Amino acid sequence: MKIALIGYGKMGQAIEAIALQRGHEIVLKIDINNAHEMNHENLSKADVAIEFTSPHSAYENVMKLLEYNTPVVCGSTGWLDKYEAVEEYCLQKQGAFLYASNYSVGVNLFFELNKKLAALMANQSEYAVSMEEIHHTQKKDAPSGTAVTLAEQIMHHIPRLKKWVNHASGKPEELAIVSERIDPAPGTHKVLYSSAIDDIEIIHTAHNRTGFATGAVMAAEFLAGRKGIYGMKDVLGF
């Protein structure tokens, strides 16, 4: 498979290493210095593009890739207020788009565990729920995209929670997400249910970026040659 890497920072480089190991070819590498090379001619050489840039550039990049009919796997976080516009444009262009706030198999298992635990806790109002996420200091967005996904899953099952906030909170209707930035943390997410009697806690800790990169390449293998809008559940068959 021929891959265009849009974003060649920590994730772009980790994805390149995994893609080469899996027998793929990198035909284009874009970063902020050669963004003008993301044009129709160069993209037409790729079967799929993998976009990991930043919260500020992701939307524009994804729209451009869809405009040029390049299937796009996007991992950038912090831009999802524009997700619906991407969905609409992808359908209009009959394109292919796959998004996940976290591509690692472990976190996608953790998402399933989080949903099950939240469903069990729905009627256990003596437990207060809160979250914590820890990442490296270069991370641009807070809370992390993964933390937002976890929070949305919890709020879906526990209707007394009306919104998430990105600070500690004692309000019963708020789901507090505390963000910490400590090097070199690749990504830790914790969900805590706490009562006067006991605590129940689930934690996912990434040891490195290999899981995110492997999942992104698996997603690209899935998307190449397909049309439509997908997520990691489709790739993993959950």
Ligand X SMILES: O=C(O)C1=N[C@H](C(=O)O)C[C@H](O)C1
Ligand Y SMILES: NC(=O)C1=CN([C@@H]2O[C@H](COP(=O)(O)OP(=O)(O)OC[C@H]3O[C@@H](n4cnc5c(N)ncnc54)[C@H](OP(=O)(O)O)[C@@H]3O)[C@@H](O)[C@H]2O)C=CC1
Binding-site residues for ATP, in ranges, read 29
Closest contact distance (angstroms) between CB of 206 and ligand Y is 9
162 and 76 Cβ atoms separated by less than 8 Å: no
63 and 88 Cβ atoms separated by less than 8 Å: no
Give the C-alpha separation, 208 to 184, whole Å: 9
135 is annotated as an active-site residue: yes
> Could you say which residues in the range 137-196 bind ligand X, by CB under 6 A?
139, 144-146, 187
Give the C-alpha separation, 185 to 149, whole Å: 19
CB atoms < 10 A from the CB of 171, how many? 11
Q: Where are the beta strands (DSSP E) in the chain?
A: 2-6, 25-30, 48-51, 72-74, 96-99, 128-135, 163-165, 174-181, 188-194, 199-205, 228-230
Closest contact distance (angstroms) between CB of 31 and ligand X is 16
User: Which of 114/146 has CB closer to ligand X?
Assistant: 146
In the set 93, 115, 139, 157, the catalytic residue is: 139
93 binds, among ligand Y, ligand X, none (CB under 5 to 8 A by kind): none
> Could you say which residues in the range 103-142 bind ligand X, by CB under 6 A?
135, 139
33 binds, among ligand X, ligand Y, none (CB under 5 to 8 A by kind): ligand Y
User: Which of 38/161 has CB closer to ligand Y?
Assistant: 38
204 is annotated as an active-site residue: no
Does residue 101 touch ligand X according to CB under 6 A?
A: yes
- List residues binding ligand X (CB under 6 A): 77, 101-102, 135, 139, 144-146, 187
